[in-house]
Structure 1
Amino acid sequence: MLLADVVTTSAAVAATRSRLAKVKALAGLLAGAGPGAVEPAVAFLAGAPRQGRTGAGWRTLSDLDVPPVTEPGLTVERTDELLQELSVTSGKGSTQKRVDLLTELFGAATAAEQEFLRRLMTGELRQGALEGVMLDAIASAAEVPGEAVRRAFMLSGRLTVTAVAALAGGEAELAAFKLEVGRPVRPMLASPAESLDAALTELGEVIVEYKMDGARIQVHKDGDEVHVYTRTLREITASVPELVELVLALPCRSVVLDGETLALRDDGKPRPFQETMSRFGATNQRELLLRPYFFDCLHLDGVDLLDTPLRERNEALRRAVGDHVIPGGTSDADQLLADSLAAGHEGVMVKALDSLYAAGRRGKAWQKVKPEHTLDLVVLAAEWGHGRRTGYLSNLHLGARDPDGGPPIMVGKTFKGMTDELLAWQTKQLQAIASSTEDYVVYVRPEFVVEIELDGAQVSPRYPGGVALRFARVLRYRPDKDPADADTIDAVRALLPGKA
């Protein structure tokens, strides 16, 4: 398959707001892809090489001056091979070797392909929000049910692997994906509730649990082997030895657990979220210890529980983790909410006891109740400050995720809630991912997610989505989340007066 076909399809997808048109364009490309082109083509269209980092940064690529060819001839397969070589190049002479590989790659590309490759390799082509559209396209191209594709993706955790299975073996090969202890499963997500009473009324028989201000973890144990993953499926086992030790001591041979972990103060209240997250980048244990609270069990001693109701999974959870279960119960929801807030947590989660584990899905079976409105939004740009904030990037431009796979949709700005320390960090980090500048505005690649507290939303013709945030302030950055995890424009519109 020619890389030019991928570039053309990517442009077509970016140019339309229609979800059906996006799916049709992607499915048409995938249906005509040969076996060796499917995996890299899906990775390219999803916005990142399948190798992840290639070792060629923005500066290296911007300094590259290679004349483009006039006629397309570079294939997807050859592009993937060269990116693979780039990703494993290291040691003495690696700098020149990378230049040679990049020269070969860009020297075989047209001008349009060169631009596509630059954006792909620097992260500017990030289309994580395209995930749902891509899954529909895979189903269409392979002529299999969408639910079969989504379930396989849930269990494999990788779009590329799911696409290869669907197109090579159809529904039968997709059905071969099973929960595998040691391979992370995409986490089930919650939707915001209108209120505690509304969630209780809608869901019927429920369990109500503390909603903690911690970091999502997924833990796998198989005998004396333990793996710990973040919500984005990044492995952090080496950084959290105290969690590994605790899981090894659990009274079970094999288990897959979903939960939260956080650092506590001496009085038992949670430390700031950033302190918990600081442990995830460490290579060894520090004085700041993490405490896990588990709330779901997906596998226990050889039995997979994904397709069993929460009430049964909760029974297995209590057998497996004992005192390490998250605080909660099936009665007196108001008191549980009050107790959670008094303990320094965010609110409560309300979960239907008959619900199955819908990994990777933000459904209504789990609903979060918080006293304050918050949204996870994507940073699109920042403005240079003035007065006390001169020299700092201050006023953030915020975008909500387009559920149909387009770029984030701007919904407002804010400079409120930032400490001097956060301003300094933000200025350094945002300049490192700058894509362009215009007067006093620095536009950035959509990589950072920030949690915003707000009083609600209002209709506004000022922004593309027709809605704007009211009295928004920064609570914190969310390094545990990708742009694909950000709240959608629909979530912002749901805050409009009369929508609740």
Structure 2
Amino acid sequence: MSLPAFAELLERLLFTPGRNAKLALLKRWFATQPDPDRGVALAAIAGELRFSTAKPSLVRDLVATRVDPVLLAWSHDYVGDLAETVALIWPEPPARPNRPPPDLSEVVETLELLPKSEVPARMAEWLDVLDAGGRLALIKLVTGGLRVGASARLARQALADWAGQPVEEVEEVWHGVPPPYLPLFRWLEGKGPRPDPRDAPVFRSPMLAQPLEAPDIAALDHAAFRAEWKWDGVRVQAAAGPGGRRLWSRTGEDMSGAFPEILEAMDFHAVVDGELLVMREGGAVAPFADLQQRLNRKVVGPKMLKDHPAGLRLYDLLFENGEDLRALPFDTRRERLEGWFARTRPERMDLSPQIAFVSLDQLGALRDGARAAGIEGLMLKRGDAPYVAGRPKGLWWKWKRAPLSIDAVLMYAQRGHGKRSSTYSDYTFGLWRPDGQGGEELVPVGKAYSGYTDQELVWLDRWIRNHTLSRFGPVREVEKALVLEIVFDAAQRSARHKSGVALRFPRIARLRADKPAAEADRLESLMAMLEKGRE
């Protein structure tokens, strides 16, 4: 399969908005493309390709040999994406080489075997024979970060739908088979056995909770449920055994490299479900902002390990010494978890305590006080519930504390990524405070890029373009005239932010075009919320 065909797939995924339409594109791809190229494309979309010899810096240095550096800098500022900039600005050679474009498998095999010193010349040869779309696909392929609106989870779902298999079955063997996944495709096409991950630390689809709303509360039989705190961290799955150790996010992303101390502590043969937190001495949980310092890092230095020590608070035991416990009732799994923990005592881990209660009113009072303790709310789990992948109704409930809200002024806007790369969809908003000279100034307090409808996004993009004051590459400063109602889960002090406060999961609740900017909230009101939450 030629690279231009892969480029066409990426372009169609990028400009196809609906999830079902993207699934259809991927299913057609798996059905019509040959091995090993379809597996290479799958690995690229899922973010599973890694090349030690090809990095963004190589692409940047390579294009600098062909393009005026000032023109390149200006173009990069305007486009906002290095790969797209290079794909568009790469000059056509005086005589296009009389060679066909490379196949996907050829690119992968070459970059795996070619000495690092020879990679730039080969990349230049490929870029010379490709058009702009092919160049973009090549650069995205070798440097990662496709950003075409198709996640690894969506790719696995498409693969399962194409083969008529439950996605949970695909996920349980996915990480046990390396790209280009030839045994996986043989199994899905009925031409070979199901790959056996044996004791490999593969990802298992997690069980998720439904939000507990008023109608559900009224019908809830509280005696059938067990209660736990909903900790404000990151849900993870830790899998360890003879085949290795891995730390997975709830969507199946490998987080092992960012938390080496957790991996070191996984000296057991089991799969556990828990919450990743920054824990201080005595088990005190640090604010989520401390954990954020650790997320999405490829390398973690000694200072980061010392200042932000990670720990794992355990909820559930899925496997023990190769035995699958997921079909057992929650009460039985909890008993097994407690026994396993008492015997194993893994470092940097503890058990999430269960909360004794006699009524929903008592639980409601505990939920209302969760903010002061820096906790998201409560989890309610049926005692007889098996561990079921997905989000089954009525087995697990999450009863989160009510969000906070502020009216803030839009200050800056930035173009998004993928299908939003030409739309101003990321917003920085601020609150008023004294400027020290008898007046007031706006100070940024957060960023939001969700919560609005498609129609609101179109309106916001048009408003931003018509009210721009200054431009800084992909960022625009706008007139301080539009008020946004922002909801968020928590606020905490932060020395890293100019305002002195950081918001947890801010999103746009509604546009307040009816409200004058001068009537937006003040920073002192937000700080008062922070102090009230600490009482």
TM-score by length of 1: 0.65
Shift of 1:199: 9.0
1:271 matched to 2:308: no
Match of 1:117 in 2: 138
Residue number among 372, 378, 399 corresponding to 2:450 in the alignment: 399
Shift of 1:264: 4.3
Indicate conservation of the 8 Å contact 1:399/1:409, yes or no.
Answer: no
Indicate conservation of the 8 Å contact 1:259/1:295, yes or no.
Answer: yes
Distance in 2 (CA, whole Å) between partners of 1:137 and 1:310 is 31
Residue number among 197, 211, 220 corresponding to 1:192 in the alignment: 211
Distance in 1 (CA, whole Å) between partners of 2:132 and 2:261 is 46
Shift of 1:211: 0.8
Residue number among 379, 383, 398 corresponding to 1:368 in the alignment: 398
Shift of 1:155: 4.5
SS at match of 2:120: helix
SS at match of 1:34: coil
Residue number among 144, 147, 156 corresponding to 1:135 in the alignment: 156
Shift of 1:37: 0.8
Query: Residues 331-369 of structure 1: CA distance to partner in whole angstroms, max 9, x if unpaired?
Result: 44534546755543221112334444345x455443322
Match of 1:352 in 2: 382
Distance in 1 (CA, whole Å) between partners of 2:403 and 2:2 is 47
**What amino acid maps onto 2:60 in structure 1?**
R
1:314 matched to 2:314: no
Distance in 2 (CA, whole Å) between partners of 1:121 and 1:164 is 21
Match of 2:15 in 1: 15
Distance 1:202 1:178, change over 3 A: farther
Consecutive unaligned residues in structure 1, runs of 5 or more: 414-430, 442-449, 463-469, 476-500
Match of 2:354 in 1: 328
Q: Matches of residues 435-446 of structure 1 in structure 2 within 5 Å?
A: 437=474, 439-440=476-477
Query: Residues 393-434 of structure 1: CA distance to partner in whole angstroms, max 9, x if unpaired?
Result: 8773513699xxx9x978989xxxxxxxxxxxxxxxxx9xx9
1:170 matched to 2:179: no
Distance in 1 (CA, whole Å) between partners of 2:431 and 2:355 is 50
SS at match of 1:399: coil
Distance 1:59 1:453, change over 3 A: same
**What amino acid maps onto 1:452 in structure 2?**
F
SS at match of 1:299: strand
**What amino acid maps onto 2:159 in structure 1?**
I
Distance in 2 (CA, whole Å) between partners of 1:346 and 1:62 is 48
SS at match of 1:240: helix
Match of 1:452 in 2: 505
Distance in 1 (CA, whole Å) between partners of 2:442 and 2:337 is 51
Q: Matches of residues 94-105 of structure 1 in structure 2 within 5 Å?
A: 94=117, 97-105=118-126
Shift of 1:15: 3.1
Distance 1:457 1:5, change over 3 A: same
Distance 1:273 1:19, change over 3 A: closer
Distance in 2 (CA, whole Å) between partners of 1:171 and 1:309 is 35
Residue number among 207, 215, 218 corresponding to 2:237 in the alignment: 218
Distance in 2 (CA, whole Å) between partners of 1:308 and 1:412 is 50
Distance 1:129 1:35, change over 3 A: closer
Match of 1:257 in 2: 272
Shift of 1:106: 1.4
Match of 1:145 in 2: 164
Q: Matches of residues 226-245 of structure 1 in structure 2 within 5 Å?
A: 228-229=247-248, 231=250, 232-236=253-257, 239-240=260-261, 244-245=264-265
Distance in 1 (CA, whole Å) between partners of 2:210 and 2:127 is 44
Distance in 1 (CA, whole Å) between partners of 2:5 and 2:157 is 19
Indicate conservation of the 8 Å contact 1:200/1:206, yes or no.
Answer: no
Distance 1:390 1:159, change over 3 A: farther
Q: Matches of residues 34-49 of structure 1 in structure 2 within 5 Å?
A: 34-46=34-46, 48=47
Q: Matches of residues 294-309 of structure 1 in structure 2 within 5 Å?
A: 294-309=314-329
Query: Residues 472-498 of structure 1: CA distance to partner in whole angstroms, max 9, x if unpaired?
Result: x9x9xxxxxxxxxxxxxxxxxxxxxxx
Shift of 1:55: 1.5
Query: Residues 216-251 of structure 1: CA distance to partner in whole angstroms, max 9, x if unpaired?
Result: 34333437976555553221486326x845x54xxx
Indicate conservation of the 8 Å contact 2:176/2:200, yes or no.
Answer: no
1:74 matched to 2:102: yes
Aligned pairs, number: 414
Residue number among 306, 319, 325 corresponding to 1:286 in the alignment: 306
Distance in 2 (CA, whole Å) between partners of 1:174 and 1:190 is 34
Distance in 1 (CA, whole Å) between partners of 2:283 and 2:397 is 25
SS at match of 2:505: strand
Indicate conservation of the 8 Å contact 2:329/2:383, yes or no.
Answer: yes
Distance in 2 (CA, whole Å) between partners of 1:180 and 1:4 is 39
Match of 1:29 in 2: 29
Runs of 4+ in structure 1 displaced over 6 angstroms? 384-395, 408-413, 459-462
SS at match of 2:220: helix
